[in-house]
Amino acid sequence: MSAPGDPLTGPKACEEQLLSYPPEGFTQPANLPYQQQPQTYSGPDLKGAVQYVDQIPGVPPGLEYLVQVNQLSVYTKYFTTQSGKTYEIKNSIGQQIFVGHSDQKCCGPLYDVMLRDNSNTDVIQLLEICKCTCRREVEIYSPPGTIIGYATLSWYTHVTSLSILNASKETVLLIVGPSFRTLIFGDVNFEVRSKDETQTIGQIVKDNNQFSVQFPLDLEVKMKVVLLGATLYLDHLVEMKRRQLEREARQRN
């Protein structure tokens, strides 16, 4: 295995904690009762936005549309402030599903993103709280205040590895890609793998300032949201690494 090392700040990686694994966590079990399919209203919708989808039992409010998608695209723009970003989350044909922004304050969380649906309702929140550990972890809430999962970054020299965890902190999926020390400024692919790494079930693709995430259509909606959160978190980590390298270059000059 590659020697551990922190690609962003340099501390030594701590030992991986063993986690309990759920049975077939990345797809919905076949023996579940029939789930009501999303019903869309045929009335007028916002220009360039997806139509409202009726509520589905077991799906957090505002996430119903995600039942019928297997790909999401993330477009980023910077605020006029130094640290903020806006995010637009769209489907494969460019219709807006969510919009949000990141907020970084000197005394607040390391990473704080709120996503709203097209009715301007807060539906997803991402939080990274400084826990003084050797790992970095973002918490995903939907609705805000209700935890649905985590994306945990492990430090390795030659690869980037994120564990996708459910609300019980059981590993469901893994994201594996190139190290932050290499290839982070160009087009990069990260593989979404089963927890035992025997199957590649999706991917996260970075193309300039755009990320896209692909996953199985029948993946549990909450896990689709956790993968979306991991995608936004990857964008944040790449940006932090870029800023670090730029500071180091200025100091050398």
pLDDT in tens, 166-219: 999 999 999 998 887 665 567 789 999 999 999 999 999 988 778 999 999 999
Q: Report residue 250's pLDDT band, with 50, 70 and 90 as the boundaries.
A: confident
Q: Report residue 39's pLDDT band, with 50, 70 and 90 as the boundaries.
A: very low
Identify the architecture of domain 64-252 in CATH.
Answer: Beta Barrel (2.40)
Residue 143 has what pLDDT? 96
What is d(CA 13, CA 213) in angstroms, rounded to the nearest whole number?
Answer: 27
Domain boundaries, given as residue ranges, for the chain: 64-252
Using only C-alpha atoms, the chain has a radius of gyration, in whole angstroms, of: 18
Nearest to 137 by CA among 110, 172, 157: 110
Cα angle for residues 164, 196, 133 (degrees, 5° grid)? 45
Q: What is the mean pLDDT of the chain?
A: 79
Nearest to 81 by CA among 105, 55, 65, 109: 105
Side-chain-side CA neighbours of 35 within 13 Å: the count stands at 18
- Lowest mean pLDDT: which of 6-10, 86-90, 102-106? 6-10
Nearest to 214 by CA among 233, 230, 196, 198: 230
